[in-house]
Structure 1
Amino acid sequence: MVYSLGVQWLSELLGTAIMILFGNGAVANVELKGTKGYHNGWMIIAVGYGFGVMIPVMMFGSISGAQINPAITLGLAANGLFPWSHVLTYISAQMIGAMLGQFLLIIAYKPFYNKTDNTQAILGTCSTISASGSYLNGFINEFLGTFLLVFGAMLILHSQALMHEAGAAQMGVGFLVWVLVASLGGPTGPGLNPARDLGPRIIHALFPLPQKGDSQWSYAWIPVVAPIVASILAVCLFKTVY
């Protein structure tokens, strides 16, 4: 079945919002004082983001492709695998969805944001942070993680072995995100997705949280630019070789 561009736009918006709610929701559960999961460890965050990507892909994959990531949208378009005429529609949906998801998340966790005085922890529930303080390290981490995400997802979703097993392929993408966050999450988070970082960072800047601190706008270009460059190259490699 072919869905209208409007339905695809709504699906990308909802899918991205769900990803943020599940992914950043796991971060909030670990980082904010007083929650049931406070200080329960990084693996909760990895699971939250793994399933946070898997569930929207399974929900909306057959409708919009469930790209839920401007880097993937641009990577596909730059390599002739997605129409440029749909790019702005998709990216606008992804950005609005990311902001909506973060707004709803802050509403849900508002009492715990009020209790938390660690500004880094609060920002971490919204956007990525370079743990080393190095912009170069941040760029390398976001580039490498996104390259592995996009290249791996392209191979999984186009695998001959999974040609008639769409659900298994979509689960594979979720496990790929899970292991990427568990293994490469230490340096920056990671973002791997411009909308996942920029949308919630905007909400962090605008929402009147009592002890939120700085939104670190000087760093904000890295989790936007690095994933886009990595995605374009990853799709190019996939298309050229496979």
Structure 2
Amino acid sequence: MDLGMIFVSEVLGTGMLILLGAGVVANVLLTKSKGFNGGWLLINFGWGFAVMAGVFVAYKSGGHINPAVTLGIWASGADEYAPEVAITVGSTLVYLAGQLLGAFLGACVAFLAYRKHFEAEPDEAKKLAVFATGPEIRSYGWNVVTEVIGTFVLVLVVLSFANTPHELGPLAVALLVVGIGASLGGPTGYAINPARDLGPRIAHALLPMSHKAPARTPDLVGAGASGEGAGPGAGGDAEPPLPASRKNSDWRYAWVPVVGPFIGGILAGVASRFLF
């Protein structure tokens, strides 16, 4: 099969994954959304069905939509990524590039869908959470372990599907992702997909998103710590302007949801050689 078609297929499939996945997070977290406070399980199911939609859309390329799945198939000793798509360095790079670009574009479209809600949201952390994962307890080593475990489960079970005939198709993967989110998603937000985190994080850094200025404190507003006499018409000078806050895409953490899933996917692929 033409590698150009593989590239387009993975772009479209991964883009659909992130559009619907980031969309459900925005729906639950952004204050003005109708789905506000919908809860963790709504996010789990939203991501599960996002995976199902992405796999269907990317059927021509085998519906990887995840670099960890691609490398897991490679590590399993398989000959092909999809029918008539041999595993080579070139085809591997095409899959990875398509997945990263698709994730970036999907995040941008999700941003457009919720554009006014991002403007109305005062919490910068919630805005970032729509695009990228983050740990509840920041401990980089253990955060990596969590991502390794979650991705290992994902890729190992996906590889087992080839040896266990069923009629569920991509719905099986969707239910698996729901289960991983409900069981293992709490510590890190279960990226389990390097492109899912890195592509949208880049989008967050580049998109023209408004930022709230830091709160004004009394020592910034004129005559003394109490602020008495400050402000126009009160006998003091006008309040000085506050500096705009810098967008924080949390790049210090960004390597975790890339390295962890890569390790987990490769380990699952190697394990599948002995298990299936």
Coarse TM-score class (shorter-chain normalised) = over 0.9
> Number of residues paired by the alignment?
234
Quote the residue 1:187 is aligned against: 187
2:69 is equivalent to residue 69 of structure 1: no
Asked if the contact 2:72–2:269 (Cα under 8 Å) also holds between the matched residues in 1, the reply is: yes
* 1:77 CA displacement: 2.2
Quote the residue 1:142 is aligned against: 147
- Distance in 1, matches of 2:130 and 2:175, equals 21
Asked if the contact 1:116–1:211 (Cα under 8 Å) also holds between the matched residues in 2, the reply is: no
Larger radius of gyration between Structure 1 and Structure 2: 2
The gaps in structure 1 that reach 5 residues or longer are none
* 1:32 CA displacement: 0.7
Quote the residue 1:216 is aligned against: 250
* 1:161 CA displacement: 3.2
Asked if the contact 2:58–2:65 (Cα under 8 Å) also holds between the matched residues in 1, the reply is: no
Quote the residue 1:30 is aligned against: 28
Quote the residue 1:87 is aligned against: 92
Which deviates more, 229-238 or 206-215? 206-215
* 1:109 CA displacement: 0.5
The gaps in structure 2 that reach 5 residues or longer are 82-86, 213-246
Quote the residue 2:138 is aligned against: 133
Asked if the contact 1:204–1:215 (Cα under 8 Å) also holds between the matched residues in 2, the reply is: yes
Letter in 2 for 1:159: N
* 1:118 CA displacement: 1.2
Quote the residue 1:159 is aligned against: 163
User: 3-state DSSP class of the match of 1:161?
Assistant: coil
TM-score after normalising by structure 2: 0.81
Which deviates more, 73-82 or 98-107? 73-82
2:118 is equivalent to residue 113 of structure 1: yes
* 1:194 CA displacement: 0.4
- Distance in 1, matches of 2:254 and 2:185, equals 17
- Distance in 1, matches of 2:127 and 2:192, equals 20
Asked if the contact 1:33–1:113 (Cα under 8 Å) also holds between the matched residues in 2, the reply is: no
CA offsets per residue over residues 4-57 of structure 1, 9 Å max, x none?
221121110000000001111100000112111011111111111101111221
CA offsets per residue over residues 184-207 of structure 1, 9 Å max, x none?
111111100000000000011111
Letter in 2 for 1:123: L
2:259 is equivalent to residue 225 of structure 1: yes
Quote the residue 2:56 is aligned against: 58
Larger helix proportion of the pair: 1
TM-score after normalising by structure 1: 0.92
Asked if the contact 1:137–1:187 (Cα under 8 Å) also holds between the matched residues in 2, the reply is: no
Quote the residue 2:244 is aligned against: none
* 1:58 CA displacement: 2.6
- Distance in 1, matches of 2:258 and 2:183, equals 21
* 1:78 CA displacement: 3.5
CA offsets per residue over residues 85-124 of structure 1, 9 Å max, x none?
2011111110110000000111110111111121211111
2:205 is equivalent to residue 201 of structure 1: no
Q: CA RMSD in A?
A: 1.4
Quote the residue 1:42 is aligned against: 40
